[in-house]
Amino acid sequence: MTQQTAGTASLVRTGAGLTSFRLDGAGPPLILVHGLQIGQELFDELRGHLVPRFTVITYDQRDRGATTFGPSTYTTDDLADDLAALIRALGFARTHVLGTSFGGMVAQAFALRHPELLHGLVLGATSQSPFRAERVAAPVAELLGALERGDEKRARALLARMAPAVAPADAEGAAGARSDEGDRLVRRFAAARSFDTRGRLGAIAAETLVLHGRDDTVVPLRDALSLAGELPRADVLVLAGSGHAWENEQPARAAAAIGAFLTAPAARR
């Protein structure tokens, strides 16, 4: 296994890039896969509740945090391959994988592309096809259309209007803001614009926990139930009183359920 100090940020080469990761705890390895806009710090609260039972690995995907890849386009399949490269670089034969929101899409792609590396799977607040036409709001549809046309200038402008914090900072802007943040987020949106695993999840043999906040207004509960209905070995946990950010709204409760599921007797698997 690559040498690192537990609990500290480290870098490891994963294919054409360097991936920033953090490893804490002891026990079976569990990798947490973050969402679209925020990096591995998303799991700062959840991590503390998981480390008594697992070796918890968090990492920054492409265009997040301290991870560095060349500025090129990529897909969720590429991000799944990055995850596989990280697992191999860290010396693990198999790991549990937890992905939430956009990270849940990466986790689905990983489970389909690299089943030999997967032990148990947790899919939180995610969807099989989040950008299908009948459910995408007008601003997002316009952004996706610009990406499809290859009009990155228009895509950056739309993204800056939807999320002003990603617009380039002026001379008096927030200290430390990245001037290329719009470009980075455009690439991440583009990676998921055609994501669709409908009709494909029956190939995933891993025991899977589908976890969703009952009050999630970003990804509807019906998406989670549809996803679970296609997975051959899925349980569903709906967290009352939680929305899309379940990992920070109810970290202790979620971690207890995740731990119980992933450490169930081997006969379950």
Q: In what order do the strands lie in the sheet with 118-124?
A: 9-14, 17-25, 55-59, 29-33, 95-100, 118-124, 208-213, 234-239
pLDDT in tens, 174-215: 434 566 888 888 899 889 888 999 999 999 999 999 999 999
Predicted TM-score (pTM) of the model is 0.87
For 23, phi and psi rounded to 5 degrees?
-125, 130
For 100, phi and psi rounded to 5 degrees?
-125, 140
Instruction: Tell me the average pLDDT across 108-120.
Output: 98
CATH of 9-130+199-268, one of 3.60.20.40, 3.40.50.2000, 3.40.50.1820, 1.25.40.10: 3.40.50.1820
Distance of CA 47 to the CA centre of its chain: 15
The position carrying tokens 């455009």 is 186
pLDDT in tens, 93-113: 999 999 999 999 999 999 999
**Structure token pair of residue 125:** 């607040």
Instruction: Show me where the domains of the chain are located.
Output: 9-130+199-268, 134-190
pLDDT in tens, 224-268: 999 999 999 999 999 999 999 999 999 999 999 999 999 987 545
DSSP 86-136: HHHHTT-S-EEEEEETHHHHHHHHHHHH-GGGEEEEEEES--S-TT-GGG-
Using alpha carbons, select from 135, 119, 54, 104 the residue that is nearest to residue 246. 104
pLDDT in tens, 217-229: 888 899 999 999 9
